[in-house]
Amino acid sequence: MKKIKLAVIFGGQSSEYPVSLHSTASVLRQIDTKKYEILKVGISQDGKWYTYYGDIDALEHDQWLCADMCKETVLSCSQAYKGFLELEADGTYHHIAVDCILPILHGKNGEDGTIQGLFELSGISYVGCGHMSSAICMDKEMTHIVAEHAGIPCAPYICVYKRDAADLKKVYEDAKAKLGLPIFIKPANAGSSFGISKVDGFEEFAKGMSEAFYHDGKGKVILETTIEGFEIGCAVMGNDVLTIGSVDEIEITNDFFDYEGKYEMVNSHIYCPARIDEELFQKAQKMAADVYRALNCQGMTRVDMFVTPQHTIVFNELNTIPGFTSTSRYPSMMKEIGIEFSDLIDRLIALALEK
């Protein structure tokens, strides 16, 4: 059988760069190399692209970026050269054709539709959501607008642009009146809980707003009513026909599921499947599928929700390129329904090629 030429793209100009390295190492260790001819493409934190010929350990430990293991490269958008152009030291380049791209990039520049637009122009199949749905899922205001339009229950919210936040006291008073206390402050475009805070008074609010604006980069912040209860997630895969994975549950012992909780399991524990009754479990799976459709997702997405003390489900957010280590939530939820890690990768690539 002819091998599929697969470019695995890792790193990226994003605060979630380290997460990408861990996810990529897991994928490279478990992907079936009998089926794929793999080209590893790294994007440095300052946005330079390289083809990488070193081993997986160096990649995982962020020691991949050195001259003897890398060559500068660019993704061609010309249909005359579909694939990558690798630049040689003497100024010449050679063309590397690929059949499919697997981006394992999180957050800004990787999950927000920008690179997906580039993939579209390249004419090469790629794993995951298209550029528009990636952009909408990344932006918490746009996600709210589209999900609410589709009748999905979300937390009450206010969107604040920096240009309208000169009188912060007024913003706070309006938010307190509409949303109640405590208020969740979130950058509209970030991830991994960067720049998020839960606040109860004006001083904390002012500090939280400046943190959130710092992490957003586009001057947009979302304020939300605090949803009581606990968090669950559901893994969804597919283009036209959907495979709905299991539902997991997050147990946290501090204010919210923060960076350390997510990646080092500090003050947090994940149960898969979630310890909820069958009816609620099915409701969560249905909501996940509805959100996936409403946001026009393709390939894969992890849908995060809350279960309230009244046993209702409130949608929180979507992750179009969820964490991909072998213990990450998305692969664990798929494993729970019988889809092992390497099979999951095969299916995601097949979905990309079928688009």
Give the nearest distance from C-beta 265 to ligand ADP in angstroms.
14
41/223 with CB nearer ligand ADP: 223
Give the nearest distance from C-beta 256 to ligand ADP in angstroms.
3
Tokens describing residue 289: 């599928």
Give the nearest distance from C-beta 55 to ligand ADP in angstroms.
31
Q: How far is CA 286 from the centre of its chain?
A: 21
φ/ψ bin of 11: left (φ > 0), alpha (ψ from -120 to 50), beta (otherwise): left
- Helix 131-138, helix 114-122: angle, nearest 10: 180
User: Rounded to an integer, what distance in angstroms lies between the CA atom of residue 25 and that of residue 191?
Assistant: 20
**Buried b or exposed e, range 326-354, using 16+ CB within 10 angstroms:** eebbbbbbbbeeebebeebbbbbbebbee
Nearest to 291 by CA among 152, 188, 155, 162: 152
What are residue 135's phi and psi, to 5 degrees?
Answer: -65, -40
226/320 with CB nearer ligand ADP: 226
User: Rounded to an integer, what distance in angstroms lies between the CA atom of residue 258 and that of residue 192?
Assistant: 7
74/314 with CB nearer ligand ADP: 314
25/185 with CB nearer ligand ADP: 185
User: Rounded to an integer, what distance in angstroms lies between the CA atom of residue 290 and that of residue 190?
Assistant: 23
Give the nearest distance from C-beta 189 to ligand ADP in angstroms.
9
108/186 with CB nearer ligand ADP: 186
Give the nearest distance from C-beta 96 to ligand ADP in angstroms.
34
49/184 with CB nearer ligand ADP: 184
140/347 with CB nearer ligand ADP: 140
224/248 with CB nearer ligand ADP: 224
Give the nearest distance from C-beta 226 to ligand ADP in angstroms.
4
Contact 299, 348 (CB under 8 A): yes
Q: Which positions ≥6 away from 145 have C-beta within 8 Å?
A: none
The amino acid present at 165, given as its one-letter code, is: A
H or E stretch at 76: strand 70-76
Contact 113, 138 (CB under 8 A): yes
H or E stretch at 74: strand 70-76
Give the nearest distance from C-beta 209 to ligand ADP in angstroms.
15
Give the nearest distance from C-beta 132 to ligand ADP in angstroms.
19
Give the nearest distance from C-beta 186 to ligand ADP in angstroms.
5
Give me the helices (H) in the chain, please. Answer: 17-30, 56-60, 114-122, 131-138, 140-149, 168-179, 202-216, 259-263, 278-294, 329-336, 341-354
Binding positions for ligand ADP, rule: CB under 6 A: 155, 184, 186, 190-193, 196, 224, 226-227, 231, 256-257, 304, 316-317
User: Rounded to an integer, what distance in angstroms lies between the CA atom of residue 284 and that of residue 312?
Assistant: 9
58/252 with CB nearer ligand ADP: 252
